[in-house]
Structures are given as structure tokens and as C-alpha cells.
């Protein structure tokens, strides 16, 4: 039988606020355990939560960016469960009325664009962390993370392959970073994903029974975990069994999923509106202010880069993945006389390689946009060849100065003087009688050897186009 895969993702995004969602505790990562845990975070009796306005602002920003309905009134609810890292015995979340309603995200998994529905996005607080074996045989509890603001983004079951799931995740990850609502740091847990996976006979209208996969903390593992799970479900169904709805843990070391607990239903959580928090009402002025603060969205910017600068769609997509990189490109394109395509190639090629090598972001580049524009100008006006420009680039990266002073100091300026080029060409022709004869007998390929000789003698500085023309003129004579 042919099976169809169905995937829906729940993504927890840590919002970049300075303080927690319901208290003034800092959200900074990496502090000593329980040093950022006030009475609200450790849930002393009688304390009251106070909603962080900035968290609401970031959530609305996201909602507007995915074209979603924003609920002007949303309600916080208690989700009740017991766990040692949750001292209140409930998590404050949103249930029936989330802040962000239905929206969508366009992805491109490689075979053309596809729109993935987003069901909702709601605000909630994070729990603390259990530190197993932190003190002898005991498990310690660190409540620094308790109360960190999260936006849980729930997708429709619209993805049909592991590749689509990864494309959606990458797009979402790029978007939250682009909007500046989260740092998206996956190692630190600022961007976490649970994957719901089911299969059904191809063409069936009803969804199959799903399992929920937890503990997948990288794009690569999402793909592997889902792949494993699909195979597991197919084996069960083809053996005549039934898939049990449950939560499964992905074990990256063994590359398998295993049962963690049977899936709890919403009613198990005894959701009810939190009496400590009034419904959150968003005023017109607040919504207008957030709307005003929205940057040009990656999707729109990508299209503008294609139309305005004539970039290839794949390049435009790559540039607009990071807002800072797109900004850098525009600054170079505006400042240089070179073609925008050239600027794009240098940024995605040479510059990215240098940044990756050092593991630094484009904001920390040792060559700023004006300096790169200066280098590209020298290619555009034929002062140097693209090849020599790479050496100049390295020298600039190493702090030897701007393009002009390096070209001057190292005597790299391209030789465009016709007389000088002719003199070297004559020398080379005189020294290569065999090749000259071969050329005249019809072997066009030896021209490459002759060009090489001229370039060698001029230490790569002769203008290649002129060298070629001069050689052909003399050989044809």
C-alpha cells in the first residue's frame, strides 16, 4: 500500500524580553542556578503575576508578520500538571483564546512554494529545569528559566514529508530572528520543536492516529526523527497493528523514538481561566505602534531584490534569510558602481566564507559595507581583476587597510597600457615558436598556454581581455 505522511509542528519560541513574562526576574541565560528566581518564579503563596507588555508586543509582531488574526482580547489559562520543575502545579498559558489566531507561512522545500497554515500562536511561561545528578545522587531544580516568556506556534497538519517539515522550521526560525523577537538559539533552547506525525493510505480523507515526538533540538534531528517514526508506523500498520496515540522521545544517539507516556488529552490538564490575570485587551494605539515597527518582511524583500537588483531567486532568498545580511547587501549595492549581482556574489561567496571561518555574524565583519563597495569599484573600473581582488580582500580582512591603499602598496593595479601589454606579448611569442606554429596550423587551444605565459610574466596583473585580443591580433597577422 502507498502511504501518505502527515506532519504538524508545535514550536516553542523564547521571546527576547529582558524580564520574565509575569515578574521582573532577568531572562539572561547561563546564570548560577536560582539566582534569577524571585518569589513569583518560585511560586510562593500569595504572589501575583503581572503581564509583561513587551512579550505581548513581540507576539503581536509575529502574528502580523504571518498575516494572522490578532485577538484584541485574549485570556490566560492555567494548565494543571505536576512536575518538580513547576512549583505552582500549573503553567500559565493561553487556551481557548490565544493572542494570535489563524495565519500562514510560505515555504519552499525545493520543488516550488507551498503555504503552511498556522492554527494559532499563544503566550505561555516556561518551566524550570531539572539538573539530574547535580548534587550527588540527587536531582537539583533550577528555577531561573521558570517564567521565561514563550510563544507556542502551532501549525496545521499541512506538511507531507520530513523535508517539508524542515523547510517550515527553517523558514520560521529565520522569520523570528528577522523580526528580532527571538535569538532562535537552539542549543540554549530558545527554539524547540515537537513534531506530530501520522500516516494514512494515500488518497484517504481522514487523518491517521498521530504520535508526538519530543526532544528534537536540531534541524537535522527533526528530519531523522520523523523519518524513523514514519517507518515505524508503516511497519505497525502493514503488520495489521494499530498506532497508539502517545508521546515519544527521540534518542539522537540511537536514532530511534521510544515511548515516553500515553498522550494526555486537553481535559487531563483541567484548563481554566487564570483568576489572577484579567483578560488581556490590546488597544488600537498599541496595535498601530506594533504595525509601525514591522520591518519590510523577508518575503517582500526577497521579491524586491529579484525585481529591483536583478538577483537570482535563490540568491535573493539566501540574502534575505538574515536581516543583517540583507541590510549589508543593500548598503554595498547602493555604495558601489559594480553590478548588484557582483555584490551579491561576493557577499554569499568570499565574505560568508570569511565570516564562517571565524564564526562571526555579518555585523562583526572586518570588512564593512563601504570597504567592500570600494573593492568592487576597483573591479568595476578594471583597476584589478576578479582574481587579484580576492587577494586584496584577504589583505583587507587582515586589517591591512582599504582596497585602494592595498592595491597601491602592493603594486597590484592591472596593466591596461596597450604598449606595455604588447611588449610582453611580443616577448612571449618570440620565446614560444612551437606554440605559435601549432596555433597557425589550426590548434586554437594553445592560446590558453600563451595567455598563461603573459599573465605569469606580469604577475597576474595584465588585463586578461586585452591580453587575449592582442595575442589573437598578432597571431592572425
- 230/326 with CB nearer ligand ADP: 230
**What span, in angstroms and rounded, lies between the C-alpha atoms of 65 and 61?**
6
How near is the Cβ of 460 to ligand ADP at its closest, in Å? 57
Only one of the segments 1-9, 66-74, 134-142, 220-228 lies at the binding site for ligand ADP (rule: CB under 6 A); that segment is 1-9
With CB under 6 A as the contact rule, the residue among 7, 99, 181, 362 that binds ligand ADP is: 7
Contact between 154 and ligand ADP per CB under 6 A? yes
With CB under 6 A as the contact rule, the residue among 33, 101, 140, 157 that binds ligand ADP is 157
CB 196, min distance to ligand ADP, A: 3
Query: Which residues, 211 to 270, sit near ligand ADP by CB under 6 A?
Result: 266
Q: Return the closest-CA partner of residue 301 out of 280, 315, 282, 281.
A: 315
Return the number of other C-beta atoms located less than 10 Å from residue 32's C-beta. 8
Residue 210 makes contact with ligand ADP by CB under 6 A: yes
Beta-bridged to residue 74, according to DSSP, are 280
Q: Does 285 bind ligand ADP (CB under 6 A)?
A: no
Is residue 155 at the binding interface for ligand ADP, with CB under 6 A as the rule?
A: yes
Q: Is 154 helix (H, G, I), strand (E, B) or coil?
A: strand
Measured CA to CA, the distance from residue 463 to residue 51 in angstroms comes to 66
Task: Enumerate long-range contacts of 102-107, CB under 8 Å, 24 or more apart.
Answer: 102/68, 102/69, 103/63, 103/66, 103/67, 103/68, 103/69, 104/66, 104/67, 104/68, 105/66, 105/168, 105/171, 105/172, 105/175, 106/171, 106/299, 107/164, 107/167, 107/168, 107/171
Of the residues 4, 108, 156, 256, which one makes contact with ligand ADP according to CB under 6 A: 156
6 touching ligand ADP, by CB under 6 A: yes
Query: Looking at 2-10, 235-243, 409-417, 456-464, which segment touches ligand ADP (CB under 6 A)?
Result: 2-10
Query: Using CB under 6 A, which of the segments 5-13, 56-64, 281-289, 379-387 binds ligand ADP?
Result: 5-13
The verdict on 8 binding ligand ADP (CB under 6 A) reads yes
Contact set for ligand ADP, span 169-208 (CB under 6 A): 196-198, 207-208
Binding segment for ligand ADP among 8-16, 23-31, 74-82, 375-383 (CB under 6 A)?
A: 8-16
CB 58 within 8 A of CB 17: yes
Query: Which CB atom, from 107 or from 316, has the smaller least distance to ligand ADP?
Result: 107
Q: Name the burial class of residue 268, with classes exposed (0-12), middle (13-18) and buried (19+) by CB atoms within 10 angstroms of its CB.
A: exposed
- C-beta separation of 226 from 197 below 8 A: yes
What's 415's DSSP letter? B
Q: How far is the CB of 165 from ligand ADP (least distance, A)?
A: 10
Strand order across the 256-262 sheet: 103-107, 114-125, 149-155, 3-14, 191-201, 211-216, 246-251, 256-262
Angle at 431 between CA 427 and CA 435, to 5 degrees: 115
Shortest spacing between CB 162 and ligand ADP, in angstroms: 13
Assess 282 for contact with ligand ADP (CB under 6 A): no
Query: Shortest gap between Cβ of 207 and ligand ADP (angstroms)?
Result: 3
Binding site for ligand ADP (CB under 6 A): 6-10, 154-157, 196-198, 207-208, 210, 266
Amino acid at each position: 500500500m502507498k502511504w501518505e505522511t502527515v506532519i504538524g509542528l508545535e514550536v516553542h519560541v523564547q521571546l527576547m524580553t529582558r524580564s520574565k513574562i509575569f515578574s521582573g526576574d532577568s531572562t539572561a541565560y547561563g546564570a548560577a542556578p536560582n539566582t534569577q528566581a524571585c518569589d513569583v518564579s518560585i511560586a510562593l503563596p500569595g504572589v501575583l503575576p503581572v503581564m509583561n507588555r513587551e512579550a505581548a508586543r513581540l507576539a503581536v509582531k509575529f502574528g502580523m508578520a504571518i498575516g494572522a488574526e490578532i485577538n484584541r482580547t485574549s485570556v490566560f489559562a492555567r494548565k494543571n500538571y505536576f512536575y518538580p520543575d513547576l512549583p505552582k502545579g500549573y503553567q500559565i498559558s493561553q487556551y481557548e483564546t490565544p493572542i494570535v489566531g489563524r495565519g500562514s507561512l510560505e515555504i519552499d522545500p525545493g520543488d516550488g512554494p507551498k503555504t503552511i497554515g498556522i492554527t494559532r500562536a499563544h503566550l505561555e511561561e516556561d518551566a524550570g529545569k531539572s539538573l539530574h545528578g547535580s548534587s550527588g545522587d540527587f536531582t537539583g531544580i533550577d528555577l531561573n528559566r521558570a517564567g521565561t516568556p514563550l510563544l507556542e506556534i502551532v501549525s496545521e497538519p499541512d506538511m507531507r514529508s520530513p523535508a517539508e517539515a524542515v523547510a517550515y522550521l527553517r523558514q520560521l526560525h529565520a522569520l523570528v530572528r528577522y523580526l528580532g523577537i527571538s535569538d532562535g538559539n537552539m542549543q540554549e533552547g530558545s527554539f524547540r520543536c515537537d513534531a506530530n506525525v501520522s500516516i494514512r493510505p494515500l488518497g484517504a480523507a481522514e487523518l491517521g492516529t498521530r504520535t508526538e515526538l519530543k526532544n528534537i533540538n536540531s534541524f537535522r534531528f527533526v528530519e531523522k526523527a520523523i523519518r524513523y517514526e514514519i517507518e515505524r508506523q508503516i511497519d505497525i500498520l502493514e503488520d495489521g497493528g494499530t498506532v497508539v496515540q502517545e508521546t515519544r522521545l527521540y534518542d539522537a544517539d540511537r536514532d530511534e523514538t521510544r515511548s515516553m507516556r500515553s498522550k494526555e488529552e486537553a481535559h487531563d490538564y483541567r484548563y481554566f481561566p487564570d483568576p489572577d490575570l484579567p483578560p488581556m485587551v490590546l488597544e488600537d494605539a498599541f496595535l498601530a505602534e506594533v504595525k509601525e515597527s514591522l520591518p519590510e518582511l523577508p518575503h517582500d524583500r526577497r521579491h524586491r531584490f529579484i525585481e529591483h537588483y536583478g538577483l537570482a531567486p535563490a540568491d535573493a532568498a539566501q540574502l534575505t534569510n538574515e536581516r543583517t545580511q540583507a541590510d549589508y547587501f543593500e548598503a554595498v549595492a547602493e555604495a558601489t558602481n559594480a553590478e548588484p549581482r557582483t555584490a551579491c556574489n561576493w557577499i554569499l561567496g568570499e565574505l560568508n566564507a570569511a565570516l564562517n571561518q571565524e564564526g562571526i555574524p555579518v555585523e562583526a565583519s572586518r570588512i564593512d559595507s563601504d570597504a567592500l563597495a570600494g573593492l568592487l569599484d576597483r573591479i568595476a573600473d578594471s583597476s584589478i581583476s576578479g582574481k587579484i581582488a580576492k587577494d586584496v580582500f584577504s589583505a583587507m580582512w587582515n586589517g591591512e587597510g582599504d582596497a585602494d591603499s592595498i592595491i597601491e602598496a602592493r603594486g597590484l593595479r592591472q596593466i591596461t597600457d596597450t604598449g606595455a601589454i604588447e611588449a610582453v606579448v611580443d616577448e612571449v611569442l618570440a620565446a614560444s615558436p612551437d606554440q605559435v606554429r601549432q596555433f597557425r596550423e589550426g590548434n586554437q587551444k594553445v592560446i590558453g598556454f600563451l595567455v598563461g605565459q603573459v599573465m605569469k610574466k606580469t604577475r597576474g596583473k595584465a588585463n586578461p581581455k586585452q591580453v587575449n585580443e592582442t595575442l589573437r591580433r598578432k597571431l592572425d597577422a
